[in-house]
């Protein structure tokens, strides 16, 4: 059976070129990057090359890149690090209601430590209104954190404008760019970003490695203390193979970005238009314009999202009901709630997320499967039956 992988916002497959680049650092050049001998120096040089590649991809200086264990740690280091380091200036933080849990739960923790957090609402497309950010800024606002693009519904935020507003008021601006990197052009200087989180496994790199961009001169308190690696901000012996993989993956991703964004965008559009036109009672979540080139997110009336994902899986198509992090609990997505989708409607959600490895032919296989899968699920849905008997027109 042909396997189609449409869950690339959860994670991506490793690019074979990335694996090749990483391989020698497992079994040949296994030295500790802090060691003085040749094996150590080889690791150190590989680490610095990866730092250059990562910095170049986002318009930063190599010294401004701190390697971490992934997006979650990068977000934690950014938020906790900036909050605690700036607590003498104020205790107010602003974020949005549709952030990833790596940001939201860190904000909850910071609230327990005496910080005050404002959670900005979003419009029905998932956009943060810059005016609402302006209104929320107060004298003691030390930090603003707004994601560059949402992992569930694909909304892209205008981070340049939001970052500018934060800076005008003297606050630090952090953005979670885990989903946008390689899909939305970015330059940390022009985009008014002080702290930016990325994660290698979202762009065909390995899992368990990420980076935080920390603007020169920024004051951060570390999360872990130890041997002082990564300029004292992230002690622990560096994950050299993983970091080499991140550097290679980000370089490949940036080299082909323009063409890949266009190609993914046309596959996404075929999926969106084909699904909406072939299935009644289907709605697009997130914006029509200004959404990630790899994201399509639907809700289907009278269908259970889990049953839909499993039915597609039987046909060899891997997709998800929402974000991977929330797909195993039955809580309604906080993102769908925030854009005003009612609980019972949110449960019939499907997220298709693409990567540069997907093809138009795969989209066509999905488009052939989806009307049949939906009508079969509706035929056995007690909710659809009840609704039909009370409203025969449905
Ligand atoms: C927007 C966003 N931020 C952070 C993360 C966490 O990244 P990681 O899995 O590398 O910890 C994810 C992962 O899904 C994400 O989508």
Pocket test for ligand 1, best of 8, 101, 102, 106 (most atoms within 8 A of CB): 102
Report the pLDDT averaged over residues 127-150.
98
Domains of the chain: 4-11+257-382 (3.90.1150.10), 16-255 (3.40.640.10)
Share of the chain above pLDDT 70, in %: 95
Task: Evaluate the CA torsion angle 30, 50, 152, 165 in order and state its sign.
Answer: positive
With a Cβ cut-off of 6 Å, ligand 1 is lined by 70-72, 75, 100, 102, 147, 151, 176, 178-179, 199, 210, 324-325
- Mean pLDDT for all residues in the chain: 95
Report the pLDDT averaged over residues 31-47.
98
pLDDT for 380 equals: 87
CB 335 within 8 A of CB 126: yes
| Residue 98 Cα to chain centre, angstroms | 12
Q: What is the reported pTM?
A: 0.95
Residues in the chain, total: 394
What residues contact 53, with CB distance under 8 A and at least 6 apart?
247, 248, 250, 251
Per-residue pLDDT band at 385 (split at 50, 70, 90)? low
Catalytic residue among 13, 253, 293, 325: 325
**Residues 223, 233: Cα–Cα separation, whole Å:** 7
CB 305 within 8 A of CB 322: yes
Q: At residue 92, does pLDDT exceed 70?
A: yes
Using DSSP, state whether 252 is helix, strand or coil. Answer: helix
Report the pLDDT averaged over residues 65-92.
98
Alpha helices in the chain (DSSP H): 16-22, 24-27, 38-58, 71-85, 101-112, 130-136, 159-168, 240-255, 257-278, 305-314, 334-338, 343-346, 360-379, 382-390
Using DSSP, state whether 219 is helix, strand or coil. Answer: coil
State yes or no: is 293 an active-site residue: no
């Amino acid at each position: 059976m042909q396997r189609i992988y449409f869950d690339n916002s959860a994670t991506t497959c490793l690019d074979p070129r990335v694996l090749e680049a990483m391989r020698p650092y497992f079994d040949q050049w296994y030295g500790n990057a802090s060691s003085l001998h040749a094996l150590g120096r080889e690791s150190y040089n590989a680490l610095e090359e990866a730092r250059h590649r990562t910095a170049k991809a986002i318009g930063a200086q190599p010294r401004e890149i701190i390697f971490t264990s992934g997006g979650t740690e990068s977000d934690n280091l950014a938020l906790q690090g900036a909050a605690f380091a700036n607590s003498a200036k104020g205790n107010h933080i602003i974020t949005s209601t549709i952030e990833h849990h790596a940001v939201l739960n860190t904000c909850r923790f910071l609230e327990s430590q005496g910080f005050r957090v404002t959670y900005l609402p979003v419009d029905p497309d998932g956009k943060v209104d810059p005016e609402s950010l302006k209104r929320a800024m107060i004298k003691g606002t030390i930090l603003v954190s707004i994601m560059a693009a949402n992992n569930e519904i694909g909304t892209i935020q205008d981070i340049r404008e939001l970052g500018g507003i934060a800076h005008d008021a003297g606050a630090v601006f952090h953005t979670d760019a885990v989903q946008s990197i390689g899909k939305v052009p970015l330059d940390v200087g022009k985009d008014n970003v002080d702290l930016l989180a990325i994660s290698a496994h979202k762009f065909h790199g390995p899992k368990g490695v990420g980076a935080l961009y920390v603007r020169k001169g920024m004051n951060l308190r570390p999360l872990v203390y130890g041997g002082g690696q990564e300029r004292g901000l992230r002690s622990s012996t560096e994950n050299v193979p993983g970091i080499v993989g991140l550097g290679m993956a980000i370089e490949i991703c940036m080299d082909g970005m323009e063409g890949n964004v266009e190609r993914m965008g046309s596959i996404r559009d075929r999926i969106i238009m084909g699904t909406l036109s072939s299935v009644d009672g289907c709605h697009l979540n997130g914006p029509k314009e200004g959404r990630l080139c790899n994201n399509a997110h639907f809700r289907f009336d009278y269908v259970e999202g889990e049953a839909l994902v499993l039915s597609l899986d039987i046909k060899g198509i891997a997709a998800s009901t929402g974000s991977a992090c929330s797909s195993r609990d039955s809580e309604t997505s906080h993102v769908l709630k925030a854009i005003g989708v009612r609980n019972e409607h949110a449960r019939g959600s499907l997220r298709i997320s693409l990567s540069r490895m997907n093809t138009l032919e795969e989209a066509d296989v999905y488009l052939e499967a989806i009307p049949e899968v939906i009508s079969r699920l509706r035929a056995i849905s007690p909710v659809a039956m009840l609704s039909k008997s009370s409203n025969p027109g449905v």
